[in-house]
A = this chain, B = another copy of it.
């Protein structure tokens, strides 16, 4: 089983090292991790961003599953590129797994950064008057339920780890789920 390893990990200063650690964990479980090494592309080239897109899309097309790092990124939700990739893989009918190193629910997280209040109808709204999703889920319902229906429930730690960008405990739990699914379907590399 080939698994596309999506996440804002590629933006970390030690992005390459994190990729090595993730693919090594995959290998231990008998599956192959495909890590989008954006850094392998000449970032000074005029078409660098398009080259990264094409590389990532080809890697996703070659994979049987995705493990997405949905840890909140620059706001209350996950990284935009990672969310896009989760949607793309769901659309392609691939198995979808994900984790978030922040176990808080979405409505709580919005309230950390915005002035959330109750509107006349009793539902939560932000400072702009836009409804805040309040279903007790850790992020937007489209991402959470696609995991429930097309893979496995979002994996979160009981408590936020010290280093949310380098703790791979929940990532490893996703790899175990994927390896189980792989054995169940009898697929192999």
Q: Which residues of A contact B (CB under 8 A)?
A: 8, 10-13, 15, 43, 48-50, 52-54, 56-57, 73-81, 83-92, 110, 113-114, 119, 123, 125-126, 128-133, 135, 137, 139-146, 148-149, 165
Can you name 12 extra interface pairs (CB under 8 A) apart from A11-B132, A74-B110, A83-B84? A8-B130, A11-B133, A13-B125, A50-B148, A53-B145, A54-B145, A74-B76, A75-B75, A80-B143, A85-B87, A90-B91, A91-B91
* CA–CA, A139 and B90, complex, Å: 22
Residues of chain B contacted by A49 (CB below 8 angstroms): 133, 135, 137, 141, 144-145
Interface of A is mostly: helix
9 A-B pairs with the lowest CB-CB distances in the bound complex, closest first: A91-B91, A87-B87, A75-B75, A53-B145, A77-B80, A80-B140, A49-B135, A87-B88, A84-B87
